Amino acid sequence: MPTTEEEWRARLTPEQYRILREAGTERAFTGEYVDTEDDGTYRCAACGNVLFTSDVKYHSGSGWPSFTEAVSPDAVTLIQDLAHGMVRTEVRCARCGSHLGHVFDDGPREAGGQRWCINSASLDLDRG
């Protein structure tokens, strides 16, 4: 796994670097996995850590891939994010520390009430 930002830049696309390493956000409704319904496992695009499964993905209408939960609490790290005058919970990969997105409490109540709003560029889908 890369240990310097130069190594991360060499490994990731410029868009992935901006999102994963600089906590950026892709524009709504532009990501590869927004409307994907394929079965599989979603991994961190930076390090391959397993993060989500397709059976907890849903269409939230937010413009980003949304999930009701992570594959396990150990897969992610949650951090309070006070940027942009908001109080949010940032989601980072527990293995490499890369920014994935945010988690909100406005998800489907019947599935626990959380909406894990994740950037497509932060994910790789292992189909099958």
Annotated catalytic residues are 117
Contacts of 123 (CB under 8 A, 6+ apart): 33, 42, 43, 44, 45, 51, 52, 65, 100
Q: Of 87, 81, 106, 103, which is closest to residue 23 (Cα–Cα)?
A: 81
d(CA 106, CA 113): 6
Query: What spatial distance separates the first Cα and last Cα of the chain, rounded to whole Å?
Result: 25
- 10 is written with which tokens? 């060499």
Residues linked to residue 79 through DSSP beta bridges, in sequence order:
90
Residues linked to residue 37 through DSSP beta bridges, in sequence order:
none
